[in-house]
């Protein structure tokens, strides 16, 4: 199952992030298990912008910076642990062990990973994969694909709230 959206401008991408936040909130399945969401697309395609919109909708106040060097940034929002990862600078998939991502996978926790390809399959199967594609200077196409039953539940909430 997948859903596609057009985002004209950064605010539209932020709004889609907020929409995913609401869908996650409404999904009992997503509250009951750790959710892994991968964000794929070229540099500047809007992945961090999307995460900022999602975090803001969950109540985060303040800037959302790309964890370019730390690779991971933890947040506590809406009674859940959220981890924003950017693996662009991962030198080797073995480094993932040092990040301890596996320990972060608790019920209700949310792991958002930019550049998941750098992990070369070591992240495990995502619940949802989001693709960001350039469709012009300020236009992007976002494709949400559910990859697990929990991901499908979230996607169903996402499509219901239009
Ligand atoms: N429709 C759009 N959606 C998202 N960002 C847009 C859009 N139009 C223009 N932009 C601009 O593109 C840039 C997107 O940057 P962002 O950091 O979100 O990309 P990214 O995919 O996380 O890149 P990286 O791979 O370097 O982490 C921002 O400067 C933003 O203002
Ligand atoms: Mg980014």
- Looking at residue 103, its pLDDT comes to 86
Cα(44) to ligand 2 centroid in Å equals 7
Asked if residue 155 is part of any domain, the answer here is: yes
Asked if residue 96 is part of any domain, the answer here is: yes
Provide the domain count of the chain.
1
Across the strands, what pairs with 6?
A: 141
Cα(139) to ligand 1 centroid in Å equals 10
- CATH number for the domain spanning 87: value is 3.40.50.300
- What Cα–Cα distance (Å) separates residue 13 from each residue in 29, 90, 121? 25, 26, 27
- Say whether pLDDT at 82 is over 90: yes
Q: How many helices (H) and strands (E) does the chain have?
A: 5, 7
Which of 5, 6, 10, 140 for a ligand 1 pocket mutation test, highest count of atoms within 8 Å of Cβ? 10
Distance CA 3, CA 146 (A): 9
Asked if residue 143 is part of any domain, the answer here is: no
Cα(26) to ligand 2 centroid in Å equals 26
pLDDT 10s digits, 122-147: 999 999 999 999 999 999 999 999 99
In sequence order, what E strands does the chain have? 2-8, 35-40, 72-77, 80-86, 110-114, 128-134, 139-146
Q: Is 43 in the pocket of ligand 1 (CB under 6 A)?
A: yes
Q: Which ligand 1 atom sits closest to the C-alpha of 8?
A: 1
Asked if residue 59 is part of any domain, the answer here is: yes
Geometric angle at alpha carbon 126, from 157 and 20, rounded to 5°: 30
Domain that holds residue 57: 8-121+150-160
- Say whether pLDDT at 162 is over 70: no
User: What's the pTM value of the predicted model, to 2 decimals?
Assistant: 0.97
Give the pLDDT mean for 66-75: 93
């Amino acid at each position: 199952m997948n859903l596609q959206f057009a985002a004209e401008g950064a605010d539209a991408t932020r709004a889609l992030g907020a929409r995913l936040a609401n869908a996650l909130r409404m999904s009992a399945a997503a509250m009951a298990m750790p959710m892994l969401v991968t964000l794929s697309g070229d540099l500047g395609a809007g992945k961090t912008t999307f995460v900022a919109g999602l975090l803001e909708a969950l109540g985060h106040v303040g800037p959302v910076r790309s964890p370019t060097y730390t690779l991971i940034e933890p947040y506590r929002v809406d009674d859940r642990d959220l981890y924003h990862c950017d693996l662009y600078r991962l030198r080797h998939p073995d480094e993932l062990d040092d990040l301890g991502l596996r320990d972060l996978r608790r019920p209700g926790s949310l792991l958002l990973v930019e550049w998941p390809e750098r992990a070369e399959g070591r992240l495990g199967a995502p619940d949802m994969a989001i693709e960001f594609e350039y469709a012009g200077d300020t236009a992007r196409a976002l494709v949400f694909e559910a990859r697990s039953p929990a991901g499908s539940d979230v996607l169903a909430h996402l499509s219901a709230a239009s």
